[in-house]
Amino acid sequence: MKTFSLDPTEAPAAIVQLADSTTAGPSIDSVTEEHERLDRARRFAEPLLASSRFDTGENALEHADGVAAILRGIGAAPSMQAAVYLVYAGDFLAEPEVVVEQAFGASYASLVAHTRQLVRIQRNARAAWTDETDRELQAEQIERVRKMLLAFSRDLRVVLLRLASRLQTLRFYAATKLPCPAALAREAQQVFAPLASRLGIWQIKWELEDLAFRFLRPDDYKRIARLLDEKRIEREQSIEAARRRLEAELAGAGITAEVHGRPKHIYSIWKKMQGKKLPFERVFDVRAMRVIVDSVPDCYAALSRVHEVWRALPDEFDDYIARPKPNGYQSLHTVVVDGPEDGARPIEIQIRTREMHDRAESGVAAHWAYKEAGTKGYAGVSAAGDFEDRVAQARRAVLQQLLAWERDFVGHNMPAQGFFEDRIYVFTPAARLIELPAGATAVDFAYNLHTDLGHRCRGARVDGQMVPLNTPLQSGQTIEVIAAKEGGPSLDWLNPQQGYLKSQRSRAKARAWFNARALQDTIARGREAVDRLLQREGRTAIRLDDLAAQLGFRNAEALFELVGKDEYSLRNIESVLRPPPAPAPLTPQEEVQVSRPATGALSGKSAVLVVGVESLLTQLAHCCRPAPPDTIGGFVTRGKGVAVHRSDCANFRQLAARHPERIIEVQWGEAPPVMGRAPVYPVNVSVMAHDRQGLLRDISEVFAREKTNVIGVHTQSMRGTAWMTFTIEVSSSAALAHVLAQVAQIGGVLSARRK
């Protein structure tokens, strides 16, 4: 089968122009500079590709050369062809994006990244084409088609590269006579050929269809090819005679026109035979001509002259100029018969302008020029008007066809399952494609672009028209957000009945704004309360972060938050601001009392012996809660005997520094049983954990399982973290380690330690 070629004087497709503008940017390089870039890219890739093969069996460099030739055939600039070699070289580089960016720039590096990602998606999806009856696999394939759509929307160059790459692979199988995997051919037929059709790149579309048909239905392909070959000489002679006659008739009528015989496409012939239940002889476009004229009036004048020369078949006329196809295709189609009725031979004739022809042959919206005003682009394409605006319009036209391709694909392959009904695709004014859940609004759209834009959204234009903010959007619309300079969302947006937010992500962002405002108000309220307390105490010079640290908070805001929530008493701050008065010196009577032996060997409360004194009233300090076998020390108090502290207690160290004469040596003694049970000692345990429902219950269950009595609990939670202090009773501090180890195993617990 012959492959296509493009007349180099024809204008490149709009999508090719857009791809070229992405690669080279709006600045215009000379043709020489572009060819130098192409040569440099091929030299860069050749050592990596020359001895490498793809999983299809193709030589990598030969494949790259073929893809570049296909792109050249549809009018791509050399800078776009250069991208081919860099993309394939990326498969053999350790850090392809980094290397390509350093050598050729960020635009090429971006293309390499997007294309490699898409290739991975396709390879993972190919299993879905092995079994057409497996709906689950086909659902996965459709999901990947959606990912392909999004990848295409980010960089239009990827579309061209993947189409050309698949065509080159099918050509390889045809040339080598190797069996083509059915999954690969089916994907070409059902995904890539419809994509090329939607974009109007007919040259690639027809060849993809014919080659895929050849591999999927070889018997039907050979039968139709044989029928075409049997009548080739007769058909070519009759078409040439008809062409010369029509050219002369149009010239005689004063119509300037080019008349060509049109190529025959085997797959389209077979599809028409199947769809209309026709024999080969009744397929009219086996003999076909194309007429290219200067203007639309000339199209209808040429049509009139054609119908004067030959008899037209009344049911075989289509006016795609007055009613263009969804992808923008325009042309007049008519079928006439040449010769006597008993031997009449049908001829299909297409009549179009040069602009319509360029668009049909090379791609959708080929009339959009992308170069700057007053300049000449590659292939002589000129442009006028604002550069960015024209690029956006051309890009939107192409992306609209990509959306239509996706809808066509899903509707054809999964008509009963409603895939993609849960999402829509809309455009920014710069023609960026945005995916949203079905029923999404302009507020969802704004939040998708940027959180702050969502907060400040106050209005929206949809396709240029102002709409209420809770209007559901539709696929293909262009959305422009009108935003205030500052401000936040409305509480109405969080009301599901109002319909302002469909996306859970958008709803979470709006709710987070209100939570942040509420937190700011709480912190401000707490700060005001603390400031008032400091003024009353005459301590306004104290550093707030230092005060918070003394109270066990990370910073002052954490303290203000709990105070503002009324979850932390100001009395705790007062206790820090008002240290207890220094103890007065002992009177002579008190000194005698300390040195006088008391009755009894041990204190019934604490079982602590005072060294050198047979018996003395003692009490365990509440600040550090000592328990055997902690190292302890005693401090003689006024009227309360000896306070027993752990030796590492901060308070005990301060008292010892101030009043060393009141420090007394103590040690643990044998405590008598209490009601037949060994004595227990209260200790404080600190637990830090991720706050969650049921956390306190889980910790309490551990204490209960370990037969540990809890006599006090204090908790506080800030920003998802819970701090808990438990006062528990243990027989010794050594027994505490096991209990803490069990608490540390609870889900979400970050630390469990003794205070």
Q: What pTM was computed for the model?
A: 0.54
Assigned fold of 423-486: Ubiquitin-like (UB roll) (3.10.20)
Distance, CA of 608 to CA of 641 (rounded, Å): 12
Helix (H, G, I), strand (E, B) or coil at 95: coil
Distance, CA of 412 to CA of 186 (rounded, Å): 14
Confidence of residue 580 (pLDDT cuts 50, 70, 90): low
Tens digits of residue pLDDT in 89-128: 888 888 888 888 888 888 888 878 877 777 766 665 555 4
Confidence of residue 294 (pLDDT cuts 50, 70, 90): very high
- Least confidently predicted of 139-148, 434-443, 460-469, 602-611: 602-611
Angle at 6 between CA 258 and CA 324, to 5 degrees: 65
Position with higher pLDDT, 18 vs 469: 469
Assess whether pLDDT exceeds 80 at residue 665: yes
The pairing of strands 311-319 and 288-293 is: unpaired
Distance, CA of 519 to CA of 524 (rounded, Å): 8
- Superfamily of chain region 229-362: Beta Polymerase, domain 2 (3.30.460.10)
Q: At 335, give phi and psi (nearest 5°).
A: -120, 125
Spell out the residues 6+ positions from residue 415 whose beta carbon is closer than 8 angstroms to its own. Answer: none
Assess whether pLDDT exceeds 60 at residue 9: no
Position with higher pLDDT, 725 vs 10: 725
Location of structure tokens 């979400």: 748
Q: Are 426 and 473 in contact (CB under 8 A)?
A: yes
- Superfamily of chain region 14-201: Hypothetical protein af1432 (1.10.3210.10)
Gyration radius from the chain CA atoms: 42
Most confident range, picked from 72-86, 397-411, 567-581: 72-86
Order the strands of the 465-467 sheet from edge to edge.
465-467, 457-462, 479-483
- Contacts for 695-704: CB closer than 8 Å, 24+ residues apart: 695/722, 695/746, 695/748, 696/724, 698/746, 698/747, 699/724, 699/726, 699/743, 699/746, 699/749, 702/739, 702/742, 702/743, 702/746, 703/728, 703/739, 703/743
DSSP 58-82: -BHHHHHHHHHHHHHHTT--HHHHH
Quick one: which H or E segment has residue 313? strand 311-319
Spell out the residues 6+ positions from residue 211 whose beta carbon is closer than 8 angstroms to its own. Answer: 1, 167, 170, 171, 173, 174, 185, 188
Tens digits of residue pLDDT in 520-571: 888 999 999 888 888 888 888 888 888 888 877 888 888 888 888 877 778 8
Mean pLDDT across the chain, nearest whole number?
77
Question: Counting every residue, how long is the chain?
Answer: 755
Question: What was the pLDDT predicted at 29?
Answer: 53
- Least confidently predicted of 2-16, 273-287, 433-447, 605-619: 2-16
From first CA to last CA, the distance across the chain in angstroms is 85
Location of structure tokens 């044989």: 226
Question: What was the pLDDT predicted at 379?
Answer: 33
Angle at 356 between CA 157 and CA 191, to 5 degrees: 40
Q: Are 3 and 171 in contact (CB under 8 A)?
A: yes
The pairing of strands 345-353 and 288-293 is: parallel
Assess whether pLDDT exceeds 70 at residue 688: yes
Question: What was the pLDDT predicted at 683?
Answer: 86
**Which has the closest alpha carbon to 38: 4, 18, 65, 73?**
65
Assigned fold of 681-754: Alpha-Beta Plaits (3.30.70)
> How many alpha carbons lie under 13 Å from residue 572 in its C-beta half-sphere?
15
Share of the chain above pLDDT 70, in %: 74
What interhelical angle do 14-24 and 157-176 show, nearest 10?
110
Question: What was the pLDDT predicted at 143?
Answer: 67
The pairing of strands 666-668 and 457-462 is: unpaired
Tens digits of residue pLDDT in 82-99: 888 988 888 888 888 888
- Least confidently predicted of 256-260, 414-418, 537-541: 414-418
Confidence of residue 343 (pLDDT cuts 50, 70, 90): low
Share of the chain above pLDDT 90, in %: 19
